[in-house]
């Protein structure tokens, strides 16, 4: 049901919209118009770059808008498809979930052609955009709920060639940390659908919380361009961390549900460890305080194992079951390739 005036086969730069039918109380015949840019020239890979899968994560949305304005097709070898704010209604509302149907786009795949707005967006990607892409970049952060040490991340996909390609692309972001994650909260994720279609999928968690430091905007913009050079769609040699005078990245994994610490009770979360810090098994990562019982000792959240503090809850106010901390264990590239 989604239509567009973009001709994906046409060279040059096109700025247009994806039109999603949306009939509501104040407009019977209406479209949600999701901005999209294509930049194409000659032979080369097709790379789909997505921001705003969750509306309250602006790092990627800003980097993609900047790139769409700045990039001349003279620098492109192949085709770039840029969608800054994929869940456009959520981005306008600054919410994780869509305000028009309450859905989480990152749990809506493979989607439905005659479903709600969010289901239709997922279906369009699954059936129209993923099939024409060689690589899919989906830029996330922790939004309003979590703050991550800025990192590129990935699933450990079973196909070894795909895994190796994703590892290389993840590391081309040049973040200090890389992170291998597993899905502890539901299915229907965008990257999983793209992975199942055999694509090289690059995802990130670039900070989080409501304020974004300038350094994180730089990681988003420079990292994105470096990955595009690594994939060969953008002219120029990619920078290695070594060429930038940086040490190798710390690659971490959290492939066990135990690494994702959920609040055992509601309260006010006090984080006790800085993001990126090394922690030991049993070390307190934070405390949950009860405003109604200041006389009572807070509930201690302890690290399940040795590792690094990869993410922490952003707002202090916490409900039982919210994720308050994520621990990643250090792992080598060789060990990642050995994983089942």
**Residues at the site binding Zn ion, with contacts judged by CB under 5 A:** 54, 57, 140
Q: Can you say whether the dihedral through the CA atoms of 298, 148, 96, 130 is positive or negative?
A: negative
Shortest approach of Zn ion to residue 311 CB, angstroms?
Answer: 12
Shortest approach of Zn ion to residue 137 CB, angstroms?
Answer: 13
Residues whose CB falls within 8 Å of the CB of residue 222, separated by 6 or more in sequence, listed in order: 174
Question: Of 40 and 323, which CB lies nearer to Zn ion in the complex structure?
Answer: 323
Q: How far apart are the first and last CA of the chain?
A: 39
Shortest approach of Zn ion to residue 317 CB, angstroms?
Answer: 20
Question: Of 96 and 163, which CB lies nearer to Zn ion in the complex structure?
Answer: 96
Question: Of 54 and 79, which CB lies nearer to Zn ion in the complex structure?
Answer: 54
Question: Of 71 and 201, which CB lies nearer to Zn ion in the complex structure?
Answer: 201
Shortest approach of Zn ion to residue 66 CB, angstroms?
Answer: 19
Shortest approach of Zn ion to residue 107 CB, angstroms?
Answer: 11
Q: What is the rounded distance in angstroms from the CA atom of residue 235 to the CA atom of residue 102?
A: 40
Q: What is the rounded distance in angstroms from the CA atom of residue 40 to the CA atom of residue 11?
A: 5
Cis peptide before 60 (omega within 30 of 0): no
Shortest approach of Zn ion to residue 197 CB, angstroms?
Answer: 20
Shortest approach of Zn ion to residue 91 CB, angstroms?
Answer: 12
Shortest approach of Zn ion to residue 96 CB, angstroms?
Answer: 7
Question: Of 232 and 315, which CB lies nearer to Zn ion in the complex structure?
Answer: 315
Question: Of 78 and 188, which CB lies nearer to Zn ion in the complex structure?
Answer: 188
Question: Of 143 and 328, which CB lies nearer to Zn ion in the complex structure?
Answer: 143
Question: Of 57 and 134, which CB lies nearer to Zn ion in the complex structure?
Answer: 57
Shortest approach of Zn ion to residue 72 CB, angstroms?
Answer: 30
84 by Cβ neighbours in 10 Å (0-12 / 13-18 / 19+) ranks as: buried
Q: What is the rounded distance in angstroms from the CA atom of residue 202 to the CA atom of residue 167?
A: 9
Question: Of 140 and 155, which CB lies nearer to Zn ion in the complex structure?
Answer: 140
């Amino acid at each position: 049901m989604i239509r567009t005036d973009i001709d994906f086969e046409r060279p040059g730069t096109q700025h247009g919209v994806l039109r999603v039918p949306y009939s509501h109380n104040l407009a019977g015949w209406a479209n949600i118009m999701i901005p999209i840019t294509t930049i194409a020239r000659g032979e080369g890979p097709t790379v789909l770059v997505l921001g705003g899968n969750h509306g309250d994560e602006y790092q990627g949305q800003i980097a993609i808008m900047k790139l769409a304005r700045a990039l001349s097709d003279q620098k492109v070898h192949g085709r770039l498809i840029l969608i800054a704010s994929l869940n456009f209604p959520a981005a306008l509302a600054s919410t994780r979930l869509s305000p028009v149907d309450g859905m989480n786009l990152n749990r809506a795949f493979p989607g439905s052609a005659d479903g709600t707005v969010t289901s239709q967006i997922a279906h369009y990607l699954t059936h129209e955009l993923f099939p024409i892409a060689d690589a899919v970049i989906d830029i996330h952060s922790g939004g309003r709920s979590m703050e991550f040490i800025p990192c590129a991340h990935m699933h450990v996909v079973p196909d070894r060639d795909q895994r190796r390609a994703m590892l290389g692309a993840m590391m081309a972001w040049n973040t200090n940390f890389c992170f291998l994650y597993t899905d502890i909260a539901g299915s229907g994720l965008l990257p999983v659908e793209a992975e199942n279609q055999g694509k090289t999928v690059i995802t990130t968690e670039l900070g989080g919380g409501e304020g974004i430091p300038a350094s994180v905007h730089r990681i988003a913009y420079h990292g994105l361009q470096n990955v595009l050079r690594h994939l060969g769609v953008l002219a120029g040699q990619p920078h290695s961390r070594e060429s930038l005078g940086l040490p190798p990245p710390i690659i971490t994994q959290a492939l066990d549900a135990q690494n994702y610490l959920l609040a055992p009770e509601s309260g006010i979360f006090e984080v006790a460890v800085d993001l990126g810090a090394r922690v030991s098994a049993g070390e307190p990562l934070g405390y949950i305080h009860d405003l109604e019982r200041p006389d009572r000792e807070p509930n201690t959240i302890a690290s399940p194992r040795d590792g690094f503090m990869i993410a922490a809850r952003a707002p202090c106010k916490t409900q039982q079951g919210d994720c308050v901390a994520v621990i990643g264990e250090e792992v080598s590239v060789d060990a990642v390739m050995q994983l089942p």
